[in-house]
Structure 1
Amino acid sequence: MAEAFAGDDAYPGPEGRAGAVPTMRDVAERAGVGLATVSRVVNELGSVRPATAERVRTAIVELGFQRNEVARALRPGQHSRTIGLLLGDLTNPFYATLAKAAVAVANAARFAVVLSTVDEDPEVEQQAIRELVGRRVAGLVIVPDQGDYRFLLEETGRRPLPVVFVDRPSAGAPGDSVVLDNEAGGRMATAHLLGHGHRRVAVLVAPSYYTTGRRLRGYRRAMRDADVPVDERLVVTLRQGTPEDAEAATRSLLALAEPPTAVFCTTGFLAEGAIRAVGAASRSVALVGFDDFPLADLLPVPLTVVATDPERMAETATELLLARIDGSAATSTRLVLPVRLVERGSGEIRPPAG
């Protein structure tokens, strides 16, 4: 869910002054009580006679007044009941799953979530963070871009703001982080292909300053552990991580005089493109993807993947943030979540005989 904010103690309502929004003063006037009484009812502080409290609640409903959590956060010793969530393109199933799980945990704790999608744009991300900090959110969950986060220290220097980074660690700012064991996943995928007899194993690398770089590191480590030289022509770093780019790159690989017999794709989008290219070429090529995607298990040759758990990642990050908001004083935490290989058929294809 996304939360809208209005001015001092007010939200738009069905009634109220022409063109204005109802305030606590409007509620007080409607109920025939003082501002202090309205405040006690709104903030559930008690010490208000039941009949008076009922008049205040009736006025609140009639005017459409809602408490402004931002104003409450400005009071000493209080914070808002809202957290900010910043992540990439929601058309990516990975980010969509993160968002859904984070919102569920926050809502269960009676926190609202302001969601911003920044689509891997550092400038957009900085602006979104500044706006959220200005709204006095209680904390932030961020899937960071490759930008420098020292600006976050300047934005939050006057008041501590809990921050948890997800999927990638931060650069230049302290905070907790929840990440995947990307290197282990890359090593796992490559070792699996090597174990099925492949020696010419290609890797498609999506642009990323952290995740796919660690997966490539795992690929190189597995090749080194198996004493198999890396042919750098088979290591393809794409300018964009789209299925179309991956399809074109795979076609080029298959056109080599000595083409690969297996391909490790460092994201689900890249696996989609590689599948198309291999299918169009009518070639028997082993494939392993990183991250699952819908219908991957229903393909003619179901896709073997390094499976992750974005739902668990988001839940862990949001729970960690809520603990910080509640006053947890533990030192910064870096949690690394495991990944696992799911064998379905495409990664188990053996290289051609001879």
Structure 2
Amino acid sequence: MRSSRPPTMNDVAAAAGVGLKTVSRYVNGATNIHPDLSERIGAAIEALGYRHNLAAASIRPGRSSKVVGLIISDLANPYYSVLARSVERVCTEHGYLLMSASSEEDAHRHRLLVDRLIAQRVDGLVVVPPRHATTPWATTTAEHVPMVLVDRPTGPLESVELHTVLADNAGGAARATTAMLEAGARNVAFLGDSLELYTMQERLAGYHRALGERGGLEPIVSAGAHTVEDAAGVVAGFLAEGRIDGVFAANNRAAIGAVQAFAEADRRIPLVGFDDFEAASLVRPAVSVVAQDVALMGRVAAETLLSLIAGEAGAPITHTLDTRLELRGSER
């Protein structure tokens, strides 16, 4: 059972059986610590609920830092750029500074970022969970700071309920697939990223739902296309085989990859993507998409967090935002 007194580095050192200096180097990001010692220190920190407070000396008890932390999964993805901009606007309107960082879908990096932002005395966190968490990070983090999840819910390791902002991924995917089937396609392929991602799981479920409602249609699934180049290669292979007559691209990178493959092969087949992208209207026909209101998602997440910080939010709920199908011609 944890003590009511906040744990210190001395407590961590005693629990891990290492020196205080070693613990200090660990929490300050040193990478040249023996792996066995790092593992013991990490386990002790997890067990004790220790958080290294870098800013405690600069902020008096009861005072707010007026800083909010945002952890996204991939800074290079335009989707998360829009999300971050929306969160920042709300924070700015309320006098908060936003500190943003990208986990790059790495669970260890994600946990380090969470700990570092808490150490910087942020007032709250908006977080895109990692695709494959290795520890119950959300459960322990929620003990220290208000937090809202966005884009994905917590994973199976967690035992805490949190305010979460999601899109209707399954419904949007079902409508996208149905649009191509209604236009005459019969062998529509699912093209997406890793199925470890909650969003991919939901979009695949929607794709299967649409095929099931038609009856007698075979799923054709390609998952793991993380980059535009990956997606283009998969679609090029599909075109060469001649076994598909439609593509449901389950994210914007998959859609861009499909468009590239069509251009290189000098032919096209029906295509609908999930998530809009700037170049979607520049090709002919323009790319039909399932559009999320990413800016709204960021705003709801930020406003919910600020309500939590102010002690005004109620019990945790999941906000599921509608998507809209924008048919521009590529579905035929």
Tell me which interval the TM-score lies in, with the shorter structure as reference length.
0.7 to 0.9
Matched, 1:221 2:209: yes
Instruction: Kindly provide the CA deviation profile for residues 73-119 of structure 1, in whole angstroms up to 9, marking residues without a partner as x.
Output: 541x4332111100122221101111111111001100111111111
Shift >4 Å, 4+ stretches: 68-74
Paired position in structure 1 for 2:81: 96
Q: Indicate how the Cα distance of structure 1 residues 71 and 188 shifts in structure 2: closer, same or farther if over 3 A, else same.
A: farther
Alignment of 1:80-91 (within 5 A): 80-91=65-76
Name the SS of the counterpart of 1:212 in structure 2: helix
Normalising by structure 1, we get a TM-score of 0.74
Alignment of 1:1-354 (within 5 A): 71=57, 73-75=59-61, 77-146=62-131, 147-148=133-134, 150-155=136-141, 157=143, 159=144, 161-171=145-155, 172=158, 173-207=160-194, 208-231=196-219, 234-238=220-224, 240-256=225-241, 258-347=242-331, 349=332
Residues 304, 313 of structure 2: 8 Å contact kept: no
Shift of 1:329: 4.6
- Percent of residue pairs bearing the same amino acid type: 33
Task: Supply the distance in 2 between the matched residues of 1:270 and 1:139 (Cα, whole angstroms).
Answer: 33
Residues 182, 215 of structure 1: 8 Å contact kept: yes
Task: Supply the distance in 1 between the matched residues of 2:99 and 2:146 (Cα, whole angstroms).
Answer: 15
| 2:215 partner amino acid | D
| 1:219 partner amino acid | Y
Q: Indicate how the Cα distance of structure 1 residues 188 and 91 shifts in structure 2: closer, same or farther if over 3 A, else same.
A: same
Q: Indicate how the Cα distance of structure 1 residues 92 and 263 shifts in structure 2: closer, same or farther if over 3 A, else same.
A: same
Task: Supply the distance in 2 between the matched residues of 1:108 and 1:189 (Cα, whole angstroms).
Answer: 36
Task: Supply the distance in 2 between the matched residues of 1:105 and 1:71 (Cα, whole angstroms).
Answer: 28
Residues 83, 113 of structure 1: 8 Å contact kept: yes
Task: Supply the distance in 2 between the matched residues of 1:151 and 1:212 (Cα, whole angstroms).
Answer: 22
Normalising by structure 2, we get a TM-score of 0.78
Shift of 1:175: 1.6
Residues 70, 137 of structure 1: 8 Å contact kept: no
Residues 138, 154 of structure 2: 8 Å contact kept: no
Name the SS of the counterpart of 2:278 in structure 1: coil
Paired position in structure 2 for 1:61: none
Task: Supply the distance in 1 between the matched residues of 2:207 and 2:102 (Cα, whole angstroms).
Answer: 31
Residues 83, 295 of structure 2: 8 Å contact kept: yes
Shift of 1:189: 0.4
Q: Indicate how the Cα distance of structure 1 residues 302 and 130 shifts in structure 2: closer, same or farther if over 3 A, else same.
A: same
Q: Indicate how the Cα distance of structure 1 residues 321 and 155 shifts in structure 2: closer, same or farther if over 3 A, else same.
A: closer
Q: Indicate how the Cα distance of structure 1 residues 206 and 287 shifts in structure 2: closer, same or farther if over 3 A, else same.
A: same
| 1:129 partner amino acid | V
Residues 177, 317 of structure 1: 8 Å contact kept: yes
Q: Indicate how the Cα distance of structure 1 residues 198 and 152 shifts in structure 2: closer, same or farther if over 3 A, else same.
A: closer
Task: Supply the distance in 1 between the matched residues of 2:231 and 2:120 (Cα, whole angstroms).
Answer: 41
Instruction: Kindly provide the CA deviation profile for residues 126-166 of structure 1, in whole angstroms up to 9, marking residues without a partner as x.
Output: 00100111122111000111215523433553x4x211000
Gaps of 5+ in 2: 1-53
Task: Supply the distance in 1 between the matched residues of 2:278 and 2:235 (Cα, whole angstroms).
Answer: 21
Count of equivalent residues: 274
Residues 188, 341 of structure 1: 8 Å contact kept: yes
Aligned-pair Cα RMSD in Å: 1.8
Task: Supply the distance in 2 between the matched residues of 1:106 and 1:69 (Cα, whole angstroms).
Answer: 20
Q: Indicate how the Cα distance of structure 1 residues 206 and 122 shifts in structure 2: closer, same or farther if over 3 A, else same.
A: same
Task: Supply the distance in 2 between the matched residues of 1:329 and 1:313 (Cα, whole angstroms).
Answer: 17
Gaps of 5+ in 1: 1-67, 350-354
Q: Indicate how the Cα distance of structure 1 residues 118 and 277 shifts in structure 2: closer, same or farther if over 3 A, else same.
A: same
Instruction: Kindly provide the CA deviation profile for residues 276-332 of structure 1, in whole angstroms up to 9, marking residues without a partner as x.
Output: 112222224001011011121111221000011111100000000000000025111
Shift of 1:209: 2.1
Name the SS of the counterpart of 2:319 in structure 1: strand
Paired position in structure 1 for 2:15: none
Task: Supply the distance in 1 between the matched residues of 2:80 and 2:120 (Cα, whole angstroms).
Answer: 24
Residues 291, 306 of structure 1: 8 Å contact kept: yes
